[in-house]
């Protein structure tokens, strides 16, 4: 189906070191798919590979979306196709306001340019929806932002760009419980039949607030176990080591 992101037998290396070792995964539009795994398992590598980071070498495999193997497309073409990546560590851009950054990003990925008045209205609507103060838009992008504010900016970007397939790379990383709830509220507000979401996380706590339709556990660059939301609770009770043993994977 064209509204699914279908990853087939994906092998990826970085500077000659193999990171992904045959990943098969489907992310469906209208659903939340969670990818979990211990540190160094290849979760973020998958995210950056899907968005076209030049550091990662594709040794084998495909990733199909809307009838195209996106691994053959430039990063901007993937974004225009409706793919979005929320970074684990958003970068600071001094001198560029949140508003100007988002308008430039919008005009870069959308087929029709948006006027300044129309964009201001769109931005205010999305900020109101996510319960973000208007003053936020005038601040320089991520400069002096707390960890929670940086992650809220990523969710605001998601709201403004309205992609059809979003990859959230450890959006919960470094957040206290209040910030986590705020970010989760933002994600939940944007969920619906017109967007598929791949949540990449190390811990299951964000899945207490953003309910996944499916969960997949990655170890040593491949998915070793898949299931429903109950898998997160099983993982919390047993830990990764026990899950790995049950899947008969040596580490």
Residue pair 23/50 in contact (Cβ under 8 Å)? The answer is no
Domains of the chain: total: 1
* φ, ψ (nearest 5 deg) of residue 130: -90, 5
Q: CA separation (Å) from 150 to 7, 29, 34, 132, 216?
A: 29, 26, 21, 12, 27
Q: CA separation (Å) from 48 to 37, 44, 55, 87, 196?
A: 16, 6, 9, 9, 17
Structure tokens at 89: 């560590």
Give a yes or no: residue 195 inside a domain: yes
Give a yes or no: residue 221 inside a domain: yes
Buried b (16+ CB within 10 A) or exposed e, 37-69: bbeebbbbbbbbbbbbeeebeeeebebbbeeee
pLDDT of residue 250: 47
Give a yes or no: residue 125 inside a domain: yes
CATH number at residue 212: 3.40.50.300
Give a yes or no: residue 79 inside a domain: yes
Q: CA separation (Å) from 97 to 81, 135, 137, 138?
A: 26, 11, 7, 5
Quick count: other Cβ atoms within 10 Å of Cβ 108? 12
pLDDT of residue 78: 96
Give a yes or no: residue 251 inside a domain: no
Residue pair 200/167 in contact (Cβ under 8 Å)? The answer is yes
pLDDT of residue 179: 86
* φ, ψ (nearest 5 deg) of residue 96: -115, 115
Strands 57-65 and 4-14: antiparallel
Give a yes or no: residue 219 inside a domain: yes
Give a yes or no: residue 215 inside a domain: yes
pLDDT of residue 66: 95
- What distance in Å separates the CA atoms of residue 241 and residue 211, rounded to the nearest whole number? 24
Return the C-alpha torsion angle 36, 221, 12, 25, nearest 10: -50
pLDDT of residue 108: 94
pLDDT of residue 171: 86
- What distance in Å separates the CA atoms of residue 10 and residue 18, rounded to the nearest whole number? 11
Domain with 78, as residue range(s), is: 4-246
pLDDT of residue 251: 43
Q: Which residues pair with 169 in a beta bridge?
A: 200
| Closest to 99 (Cα-Cα) out of 80, 77, 117 | 117
Walk along the chain (251 residues) and give the pLDDT tens digit of each residue. Answer: 468 999 999 999 999 999 999 999 999 999 999 999 988 899 999 999 999 999 999 999 999 999 999 999 999 999 999 999 998 778 889 999 999 999 999 999 998 899 999 999 999 999 998 888 889 999 999 999 988 888 889 999 999 999 999 999 988 888 889 889 988 999 999 999 999 999 999 888 899 999 999 999 999 999 999 999 889 888 888 888 888 777 764 44
Give a yes or no: residue 133 inside a domain: yes
């Amino acid at each position: 189906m064209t509204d699914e992101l279908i990853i087939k037998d994906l092998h990826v290396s970085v500077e000659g070191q193999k990171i992904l070792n045959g990943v098969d995964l489907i992310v469906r539009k209208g659903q939340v798919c969670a990818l979990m795994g211990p540190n160094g398992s290849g979760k973020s590598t998958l995210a950056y590979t899907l968005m076209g980071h030049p550091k990662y070498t594709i040794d084998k495999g495909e990733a199909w979306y809307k009838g195209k193997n996106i691994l053959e497309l430039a990063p901007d073409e993937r974004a225009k196709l409706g793919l979005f990546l929320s970074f684990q560590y958003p970068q600071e851009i001094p001198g560029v306001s949140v508003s100007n950054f988002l308008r430039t990003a919008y005009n870069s990925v959308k087929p029709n340019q948006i006027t300044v008045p129309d964009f201001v209205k769109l931005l205010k609507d999305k900020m109101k929806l996510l319960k973000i103060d208007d003053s936020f838009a005038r601040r320089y992008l991520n400069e002096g932002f707390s960890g929670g504010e940086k992650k809220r900016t990523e969710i605001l970007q998601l709201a403004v760009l309205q992609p059809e397939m979003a990859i959230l790379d450890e959006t919960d990383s470094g957040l206290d419980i209040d910030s986590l709830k705020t970010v989760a509220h933002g994600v939940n507000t944007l969920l619906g039949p017109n967007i598929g979401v791949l949540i990449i996380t190390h811990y299951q706590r964000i899945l207490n607030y953003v309910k996944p339709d499916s969960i997949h556990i990655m170890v040593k660059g491949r998915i070793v176990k898949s299931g429903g939301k109950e898998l997160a609770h099983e993982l919390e009770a047993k830990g990764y080591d026990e899950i790995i043993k049950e899947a008969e994977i040596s580490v």
